[in-house]
Amino acid sequence: MAESLRVSLASEPLALGALDGRYRAAVAPLVDYLSEAALNRDRVHVEVEWLIHLTSQSVLPGAGPLSDEQVARLRAIVTEFDAASVNELAEIEAVTVHDVKAVEYYIGRRLPAIGIENLTALVHFGCTSEDINNLSYAVGIKGAVEDVWLPNATALVKQIEAMAEANRSVPMLSRTHGQPATPTTLGKELAVIAHRLNRQLARIAKTEYLGKINGATGTYAAHVASVPSADWEAVAKTFVEGLGLTWNPLTTQIESHDWQAELYADMARFNRILHNVCTDIWSYISIGYFRQIPVAGATGSSTMPHKVNPIRFENAEANLEISNGLLDTLGATLVTSRWQRDLTDSSSQRNIGVAFGHSLLAISNVAKGLKALDVAEEVLAGDLNTNWEVLGEAIQMVMRAEAIAGVEGMENPYERLKDLTRGQRVDGARMQEFVQGLGLSADAEARLLALTPGKYTGIADKLVDHLQ
């Protein structure tokens, strides 16, 4: 048997997935919100704020307010969280075999230096792991959406809006069912895209990020047993809201994750619309409506030197499909849990960053692809000029209006235009000859004789104003 020529790379610090390898630069901003390290930092953040909240409210006898310096030093545990902290947590977890317990011990180790070792028992007080996890995920996802994904998606839509404005009056042949149809303008079609995407961004911007901190089965049982005098619902509500989240008053052991499913459905819908944009732009490139601006030094094909391929849009398509596969799975999985708790959500949520990453990568590619496009107005004009038959709609509608006004000889307008145009090309001269033989009123005939495919765009250019 021949020896394998493969040298093992498993011991090298190499990325398994493309997002942490080839595409790292495009998705790097998400690392601060959705990586495992970020999750652990947010767990530390939630645990520290819970400790501060309990003491500031004097919820437990003997655990009164901390000094400003002590509060600042507690919060420094979060702000100073770094690579060494990640390694220390990993070492603790190797013993506890429990990630949230490791966080509790990590914080406990630092209390003596702050002079509050007597409050070690207050770390993670009354909490189940999911109390910390649901809040940490909510904080991280909220940051990822509001600080990274939404600004990038919004910038892309603004880019499309600018293209719509610049091309609002550029006439373009429509294609319904892939066939020549009533002309439009390039700007109006781009405005349709921007309008659709903006509606999804508006929904995403209004997302409610829910959280809870109510114990092992959502009953505050341990809280009430230990400190029956406290108004634990008020304590929980003010804490969750203090994290910038919406308090969920009714849960099992887990926060139900319905808000996540709602968010991912909206993001997936944005992705799907953007996927449609990619396929349309790709098709317009293929028929010459857009020219691609070559990048100096770039190679389109390893063997065909003339090629400039629409790779940005193709790459975006693939990444949007991967993102949606994950977002759809997350949305379906996270809203279900056996009885009061199972752990399917725990493994699922570790892929949130991957789902966001592929969407962000696609947004980046579409933005770069659009920047490298130049509108070939002469191609659009030539296409219109070889499809005079699209004026058949206008002519038969004018004939209908003439018939209603009492003009003689306007019978069967649709059928007459169908005989003239269906399945065949009609040039400008033949179309005008047909119009002149209809017996229209002088005004109607003049309007139709002045009409060309490039002028038959209705108020398409004005419709772009709806983006304002």
Model pLDDT for residues 161-198, shown as the tens digit of each residue: 999 999 999 999 999 999 999 999 999 999 999 999 99
Whether 53 is catalytic is no
Is residue 336 located within the same domain as residue 282?
yes
- ∠ at Cα 97 (91, 101), nearest 5°? 85
Task: Say which amino acid occupies 123.
Answer: V
Which is catalytic among the residues 177, 229, 306, 347? Answer: 177
Q: Is 102 within the bounds of a domain?
A: yes
CATH code, 187: 1.20.200.10
Average pLDDT, stretch 228-252?
A: 98
Closest CA to 228 of 59, 93, 458: 59
Q: How far apart are CA 315 and CA 298, in angstroms?
A: 16
Average pLDDT, the chain: 94
Q: Is 244 within the bounds of a domain?
A: no
Average pLDDT, stretch 327-347?
A: 94
Which is catalytic among the residues 58, 67, 286, 301? Answer: 301
Is residue 403 located within the same domain as residue 450?
yes
Token match 């092992």: residue? 216
Is residue 344 located within the same domain as residue 270?
yes
Is residue 197 located within the same domain as residue 276?
yes
Number of structural domains in the chain:
3
Is residue 47 located within the same domain as residue 191?
no
Whether 316 and 276 have beta carbons less than 8 Å apart is answered as no
Q: How far apart are CA 321 and CA 272, in angstroms?
A: 8
Q: How far apart are CA 42 and CA 46, in angstroms?
A: 6
Average pLDDT, stretch 369-383?
A: 97
* Sequence-separated (6 or more) residues with CB below 8 Å from residue 358: 19, 319, 320, 322, 323, 326
Model pLDDT for residues 145-157, shown as the tens digit of each residue: 999 999 999 999 9
HEC string for 81-98: CCHHHHHHHHHHHHHHCC
Is residue 101 located within the same domain as residue 159?
no
Token match 């961004």: residue? 201
Does the pLDDT at position 436 exceed 70?
yes
Is residue 255 located within the same domain as residue 368?
yes
**pTM exceeds 0.85, yes or no:** yes
Phi, psi of 43, deg, nearest 5? -65, -45
| Residue 422: domain span | 386-463
Whether 45 is catalytic is no
Q: Give the number of residues written for the chain.
A: 468
Whether 248 and 255 have beta carbons less than 8 Å apart is answered as yes
